Structure 1
Amino acid sequence: MTDFFYISDLMMRRLFRICVISALFACYVVLSGASEHEERKSEQFRIPDKNSSSIKVKGNYTSAKDRRPKAVIPRKKVKTGNKRVSMGSRRDISCTRLGGICQPTRYICQGRYLKGRCSGNKVQQCCMPVQAWSVLCAGHHNRVRACDVHGCGAFNSQRVNGLHKAVDLVCDDYSIINTPFSGSLAGPVSRKDPAGNQFDGVKLLSDEHCVKIFNIRPYRYFGPVTQGEALGYLLPLQERFSGITSHLELQMCDGTDPSPFI
């Protein structure tokens, strides 16, 4: 009888141990599953966090872009100011595109002043640098006619009817006359001296210069011409003025001295 109780007690202890171990194992399984579930949840929560953080960054970037126009406003004002400042230079473009500079006439100009090429008052004029013209008379340098029995060929030389507002360049009768600068022919010109003698020629103009060339017979009176192109030939003067030096007469349209260009 005692052995029976002893065996029964031993079996109960083993059964209790088995139950305890089974319960612990079940708890372990449950806890492991719960931890895995929590990790999955945490991963699911982390993904939208990343997205939300990137959205926030994008949102901040977008808002930074939205704030940019406010920062650009003064730049627009600066541009407007530049336009206002550049209005004067745009008005002076007729001078600057010729290679000149607008400046007050009290300053020394190494070339010559052109009128009506600059903005502002009349004391502001276009100073053009000296640019030599090509040789006008074929076979000659641009040599000013010296004094002879009929007068002198320099600018402002004394004549019977006043000062000579032109320059006479030495040239042989019937010699070819070349175009001094590129421009356009603007029709025939003529003048008479106090004795009634008529001198014929042609007007040549460009954006920078305007001249009248007398004592020549041009091949044509209108149309574009290029520098160095044959313009016509010199009319003879010896038949009317014995002892005169054959020459062409070069006169600026505004009455200024053409000497710096020849």
Structure 2
Amino acid sequence: MMRLLLRVSLIAALLSCYVLLSWASEQGKSKGEEPQSPDSNMKVKRNYTAANVRKPKAGSHRKKVKQTGSQSVSMGPRSTIICTRLGDIYQLKRYICQGRYLKDKCSGVNKRQCCVPVGAWSVFCSGHHNNRVRACDGHGCGAFNSRRGNDLHKAVDLVCDDYGIVSTPFSGTLAGPVSRKDPAGNQYDGVKLLNDVHCVKIFNVRPYRYIGPVVQGEALGYVLPLQERFSGITSHLELQMCDGSDPSPFI
């Protein structure tokens, strides 16, 4: 009986020791680990995300700016805008110009010029399908550089009817009245018309006004009669370029 009691006591003591050792071990583990709040977990995740986001390199941004800065938009010389606006052609010099090249309109560009095609101006005189140069009659000829006594005719005469309506040949600005006298003392009145490219004096017309902008095809005035002074002459208006050049290629 005594042996049985001793065995039970020994087993109970062993179990007590085991329980105490297990409890002591659990307490040691809990002391070694600090409790983490939900906020600390979020902070750790946020720091991890920030650390893993790739920041753009300073060199890459600079390279992009450099590429953008190197792209230049070329608007072309001002002469290109003038040519296209007036219906002219901005082309290489080696191409044939079916008309006339304009001088001093392509500064800085040596291989291209502004070509004004034939018939760049519209018809002047109402009732006519084209600008017809006055042929020779008893009072002379109407072509450019035709003989007028001892002088040359530095203008072109276009056939028009007396009191016929004259249309504006190109868009531009009226720049005031003009007049001239021939060797015999006869006076011819008219108006000056100009734009960025052309400048012409139109004689033997009575304009509706002398100053202000006009558009191509607008009624400019009417032809003054010549039969009263020059019997048998072909009624006409006279075109004279402001620089004395030949207006024939434009009409």
TM-score (norm 1): 0.76
Give 1:102 deviation, angstroms: 7.0
- Matched AA of 1:10: R
Residue number in structure 2 paired with 1:55: 50
Give 1:71 deviation, angstroms: 2.7
Maintained 8 Å contact 2:117/2:250: no
* 1:120 maps to which of 102, 108, 112: 108
Larger relative helix fraction: 1
Residue number in structure 2 paired with 1:212: 201
CA spacing shift, 1:29–1:190, aligned 2, 3 Å: same
* 2:210 maps to which of 221, 242, 256: 221
CA spacing shift, 1:68–1:23, aligned 2, 3 Å: same
Separation in structure 2 between the aligned mates of residue 15 and residue 123 of structure 1, nearest angstrom? 116
Query: Does the residue aligned with 2:143 lie in a helix, a strand or coil?
Result: coil
Residue pairs, 1:169-188, within 5 angstroms: 169-188=158-177
CA spacing shift, 1:124–1:134, aligned 2, 3 Å: closer
Q: Deviations over 1:69-119 (max 9, x none)?
A: 54357547736xx58xx69x4xx3044333243755x76433322233222
Residue pairs, 1:58-207, within 5 angstroms: 61=55, 64=57, 66-68=58-60, 70-71=62-63, 74-75=66-67, 78=70, 82=72, 89=76, 92-99=77-84, 100-101=89-90, 108-120=96-108, 125-130=113-118, 132-141=120-129, 142-207=131-196
Separation in structure 1 between the aligned mates of residue 181 and residue 112 of structure 2, nearest angstrom? 36
Residue number in structure 1 paired with 2:248: 259
Report whether the alignment pairs 1:241 with 2:233. no
- Matched AA of 1:171: C
CA spacing shift, 1:185–1:159, aligned 2, 3 Å: same
CA spacing shift, 1:68–1:161, aligned 2, 3 Å: farther
Maintained 8 Å contact 1:102/1:118: no
Q: What is the aligned residue count?
A: 245
CA spacing shift, 1:161–1:218, aligned 2, 3 Å: farther
Separation in structure 2 between the aligned mates of residue 122 and residue 31 of structure 1, nearest angstrom? 94
Report whether the alignment pairs 1:12 with 2:9. yes
- Matched AA of 1:200: D
CA spacing shift, 1:130–1:23, aligned 2, 3 Å: farther
